[in-house]
Amino acid sequence: MATSAYILHSSYRRSPTSLPLYHLPRLSRQSVSSPHRFPSLSLLSNNHHSSKFPSFNPFPFSAPPNFSISADRLLFGNQNSSFRWNFAHGATPIDQRNSIGASHTDSEVAVVILGWLGAKPKHLRRYVEMYNARGIHAVTFVASVMDVLSFDLGRKLEERVRSLADELAAWLSDHGGRDRILIFHTFSNTGWLAYGAILDNLKDRQDLLEKIKGCVVDSGGDPDIDPKVWAAGFTTALLKKSSSATYSSTETAQSNKSHPFCVETLMLGAFEKLFSFLLNLPDVNRRLRKIISILSTGQPPCPQLYLYSTGDKVIPFRRVETFIDEQRKNGKQHVFSFDFGSSPHVDHYRTFPDVYASQLDNFLKECLSFVGKL
């Protein structure tokens, strides 16, 4: 699929504290309110609290003893720039005897964090820390604007997505006798569509699809092919902190008094014209609809969590809510949602860190209760 059919919306407001990013060799092949709030639960060990996370793993090359890595890949393999592994250091995978029972402590879990358009690995650092603190390995994947708007119309990015899918398949298969499972955490429609593309790449491996135990959709889930939404996503990705989409409604009103966002208005208009043409190209439109169809009707029967807000200026919240309702009507029994109300696009964790972490903890418990059932 041409990657222009993958890439959508993004924004980035304030970068979390920058921490050193370590490379690992590639592995061997409402208002805050919600009608579906989880009970108060936690997957954290007794040494951590939901709002306080330990510093990032300072020994990234020290994989857990039970994490097998092919020797030839470790010694001679090159780091694949398409994705980065971040291993949970010094803990048994998912050590959660106090939360979901000892029967699940043999499962090794990795989360696939698919970033928003224009995100960099450092922007996903806080999310990596959050998962690593819970004993979950994390692999991150990001896409830049130029990955999409290049002369090849994103075909190299399509190969990167396929490479990540191959890597995940290899990791799941090379388990050394221990059960391995995946959870996805997607941001904006960019990460969400990348998730759909990975599902498409794995469509002939039902045994691997069954190992996907959950998906978090942060600020994504809009199935409509709308040039205005695409334009908003690309404009926000390019302007970053200067974009009005990275501010709450109150902050936008205050900024407009002195900064009328003229450049942003011009960019929105130009991108809308561009995408009105590109999205109607037969091949692009067909490929995009194929991925959206997979996300609509072909997701694994695992829990889904949609984190969104009515204050999102990139992804229309009503479209997300409509998609959630359709998932439930299609027979998905474990579809949860949480409306953060005022927080901007992909900024829910920074705005409401404790609530975000709590929602994630509760959802992880729901996901891991599926281990061994499917």
* Structure confidence by residue, pLDDT tens digits, 273-310: 999 998 998 988 998 999 999 999 999 999 999 999 99
Taking Cα atoms as reference points, which of 306, 364, 307, 351 lies closest to residue 134? Answer: 364
Average pLDDT, the chain: 77
Write down the pLDDT at residue 252.
Answer: 52
Mean pLDDT of 228-242: 92
For position 344, what pLDDT does the model report?
96
Check residues 112 and 104 and name the one with the higher pLDDT.
112
Query: Taken in order 174, 86, 90, 58, is the CA torsion positive or negative?
Result: positive
Judge whether residue 65 has pLDDT over 50.
no
Neighbours of 259 (CB within 10 A): 12
CB 13 within 8 A of CB 49: no
Cα separation, 92 vs 108, whole angstroms: 8
Q: Of all helices (H) and strands (E), which one includes residue 290?
A: helix 282-297
pLDDT at 125: 96
Q: Is 271 exposed, middle or buried (0-12, 13-18, 19+ CB in 10 A)?
A: buried
Backbone angles phi, psi at 235, to 5 degrees: -65, -45
Query: Would you kindly state where each structural domain of the chain is located, as residue ranges?
Result: 3-368
Q: Which CATH number fits domain 3-368: 3.40.50.2020, 3.40.50.1820, 3.40.50.2000, 1.10.4160.10?
A: 3.40.50.1820
180-187 and 304-308 as β-strands: parallel, antiparallel, unpaired? unpaired
Distances (CA, A) of 44 to 49, 132, 287, 372: 7, 11, 41, 21
How far, in Å, CA of 340 to CA of 350, rounded? Answer: 11
Query: Which residues is 113 bridged to in the sheet?
Result: 140, 185
Which residue, 121, 86, 93, 96, is CA-closest to 43?
96
The two three-digit tokens of residue 28, written as one number: 């061997």
- Pairing state of beta strands 335-339 and 212-218? unpaired
> What is the tens place of the pLDDT at every residue in 25-58?
343 433 444 444 333 333 333 333 333 333 333 3
Q: Give me 179's structure tokens.
A: 């059960």
Instruction: Give CA–CA dist 252/199, Å, rounded.
Output: 38
Q: Are 70 and 174 in contact (CB under 8 A)?
A: yes
Is the predicted pLDDT of residue 227 greater than 70, yes or no?
yes
Structure tokens at 161: 């997505």
323-348 confidence digits (pLDDT tens): 999 999 999 989 999 999 999 999 99
Amino acid at 297: T
Residues 293, 14: Cα–Cα separation, whole Å: 34
